Amino acid sequence: MRLTYYKLITPINQMKKTTVISLLSFSFLLISSTVFANSYPYPAVTGTAGGVTSTGAYVSGDYYRMLADSTPQNPVLWSSFYFEYGPTNSFGNEVTAQPVPTLVPVTDGRSMYNAQLTNLQSSTTYYYRFVVSWRLQNSTETAYFYGNTFTFTTFGNSVIGIQTLPATNLTTTSAFINGAFFPQINSQIPNPQEFHFDYGTSLALGNYAFAQPIMALVANPDGSTRYTAALSNLVPGTTYYYRFSSGPTGLTPPGLVPFVGQTLSFTALPSSVFPGGFFTTTLLFGSTHPEVTRLQLCLRAVTTSYGASTPITGGFYSITDKALREYQSAHGIDPIGIVGPLTRASLNSVCAPILNGAVSASAQ
């Protein structure tokens, strides 16, 4: 016997207390549930999109289990959850939905899911919907339930609402990770004061650090607010992945999808960065060798000519020349402004404690 399936959907505003028939055949009633006014008459409900950037987004959905189970004698044998998405309402792509951990119990019988979409095109409208499928123990057919189709539009390549920035001040066991929030672009964040960083030794991340706003004396020209977090107890020579995210912790609050920046990485400095010494070559006015960065970091710590607010440029010019001559005079070396054998030996001794704990990523 061939079964023909059809659906009956009753508008919520016309419901009192009734039985909503989710899936029927001409031979058998497979699934039915009793619901009340203002309840969802469908087990799959598409939620909002968030965390939209120029190349990615998060999508969400709710699964109402009490609308899915039939009877104890004919339970759901297996179920799956995923999102369909694409640049047209024909979709064309699928991604597995992940259950969302909650900070407080959910009392309305739903389970929340979301998924991260990546490698999207900038300035493009995408269609998406939440899909639930299952098979009953006493059935040979798979039932599919589709949430409403929603859309979101990715940002252009110029500015996004949440942006992860490169890590700074790398050492063997610590680093600062940074991010920017553009309030004029992303006004959907409920509390723009709460941000954090997700990080870990794999793309799964798994750890979080609270983000602290960076107080700027002059407003950033791009209108952003910058945030940072100090990471410690890192493993030397290990690569870490991180991203800037909205919300106070690494857990997603119930019903909310985090706004996240792109995932970046950095590598903590190995325990023995330069076994032959930090300084191994001749440096003089006009040099742009990586060792100039190390020289500037050291001179900033041990001289007055290279002030604390003077930027580390990696270029050997007038300020570096003046500070080097000051250093040479203080250590009994002819102040000629050239890093030769005597100056290298002195720098490797004096600067080693400084550079072991404060070599920046640009020194690698």
Residue 44 and residue 137 in one domain: yes
* Tens-place pLDDT, residues 260-295: 788 888 888 776 555 556 788 899 998 988 889 889
Instruction: Kindly state whether residue 112 falls inside one of the protein's structural domains.
Output: yes
Would you tell me the crossing angle of helices 341-350 and 290-302 to the nearest 10 degrees?
60
Residue 21 and residue 140 in one domain: yes
Residue 195 and residue 326 in one domain: no
361, exposed or middle or buried, with CB in 10 Å at 0-12, 13-18, 19+? middle
Q: Give the least confident one: 39-53, 247-261, 323-337.
A: 247-261
Provide mean pLDDT across the span 87-92.
93
202, exposed or middle or buried, with CB in 10 Å at 0-12, 13-18, 19+? exposed
Residue 108 and residue 12 in one domain: yes
The yes-or-no verdict on residue 170 having pLDDT over 50 is yes
* Tens-place pLDDT, residues 221-255: 667 788 999 998 888 778 899 998 876 554 444 44
For residue 127, what pLDDT is reported? Answer: 95
Range of the structural domain that residue 23 is part of: 5-153
DSSP annotation of 300 reads H
Tokens of 115: 């998924």
Mean pLDDT of the chain: 74
For residue 275, what pLDDT is reported? Answer: 52
Instruction: Kindly state whether residue 44 falls inside one of the protein's structural domains.
Output: yes
Residue 176 and residue 309 in one domain: no
Number of domains in the chain: 3
The yes-or-no verdict on residue 192 having pLDDT over 70 is no
User: How far is it, in rounded angstroms, from Cα 320 to Cα 25?
Assistant: 83
Instruction: Kindly state whether residue 241 falls inside one of the protein's structural domains.
Output: yes
Residue 329 and residue 216 in one domain: no
Domain boundary among the residues 153, 170, 186 is at 153
User: How far is it, in rounded angstroms, from Cα 108 to Cα 104?
Assistant: 12
Instruction: Kindly state whether residue 275 falls inside one of the protein's structural domains.
Output: no
Instruction: Kindly state whether residue 284 falls inside one of the protein's structural domains.
Output: no
Instruction: Kindly state whether residue 285 falls inside one of the protein's structural domains.
Output: no
Residue 245 and residue 347 in one domain: no
Question: What is the separation, in whole angstroms, between the first and last Cα of the chain?
Answer: 72
Residue 38 and residue 136 in one domain: yes
DSSP annotation of 193 reads T
Q: Which helix (H) or strand (E) holds 349?
A: helix 341-350
Instruction: Kindly state whether residue 274 falls inside one of the protein's structural domains.
Output: no
Tokens of 164: 């992860």
Residue with the two structure tokens 């039985």:
19
Residue 246 and residue 317 in one domain: no
Instruction: Kindly state whether residue 281 falls inside one of the protein's structural domains.
Output: no
